[in-house]
Amino acid sequence: MKIDPASGLVRGVQFVASPNHDARPDGAPVDILVIHSISLPPGKFGGRGVEQLFCNCLDPDEHPYYREIRDLTVSAHFLIRRNGEIIQFVPLHRRAWHAGQSYCEGRTRINDFSIGIELEGTDDMPFEKAQYESLGRLTKIIRRRYPAITPEHVYGHGDIAPGRKTDPGPMFDWQRYLKSLA
């Protein structure tokens, strides 16, 4: 895998274009990586719900929970499925809408300077070996392009939005992940 510098896309990764992004502010450094987890419907894996949410085409009649989130306009740069498949939704040089109301390293507006990676999962289930492998590979190539993203600048969504978010949750093995970056 390599990042195409012109497009901001990772070569060899499926790209599904989300409309939920915009330009980063001029001069904003990309120096934070935020790890999330998501499943749609909640607790279900392998469906198209996450893609549909990120592309604003979620059918509110498909599941009762979808009625609650039907008006959200969110995205992340990447989703890593349970089997390790990586899907990119937003070019890396663009601002994805993943962090919401957050605070990190003395700054707000986290989306301005971060990259968001969603793992297909929940707070109460272990993540898969294939997900850790893909996350490690993806993080390494992101760090080559954005060297200010050191292991100390990788956060969980719950770290930057405590009390509002908990993901990737207590089942995420931070030691395993960080060891894969060495």
Residues of the chain with pLDDT under 50: none
What is the residue extent of each domain of the chain?
Answer: 2-6+14-20+27-36+74-179
Within 76-136, strands assigned E span: 78-80, 86-88, 94-96, 114-120
Helix (H) or strand (E) holding 68: helix 64-69
Q: What is the pLDDT of residue 182?
A: 84
Residues known to be catalytic: 118
Q: What is the pLDDT of residue 171?
A: 97
Q: What is the pLDDT of residue 158?
A: 97
Whether domain 2-6+14-20+27-36+74-179 has CATH 1.10.3720.10: no
Q: What is the pLDDT of residue 142?
A: 98
Predicted TM-score (pTM) above 0.85? yes
Q: What is the pLDDT of residue 48?
A: 96
Q: What is the pLDDT of residue 148?
A: 98
Q: What is the pLDDT of residue 170?
A: 97
> What is the spatial distance between Cα 29 and Cα 52, in angstroms, rounded to a whole number?
30
Q: What is the pLDDT of residue 177?
A: 98
Measured in degrees and rounded to the nearest 5, phi and psi for residue 169 equal: 95, 175
Which residues fall within 8 angstroms of residue 46, CB to CB, at 6 or more apart? 81, 82, 120
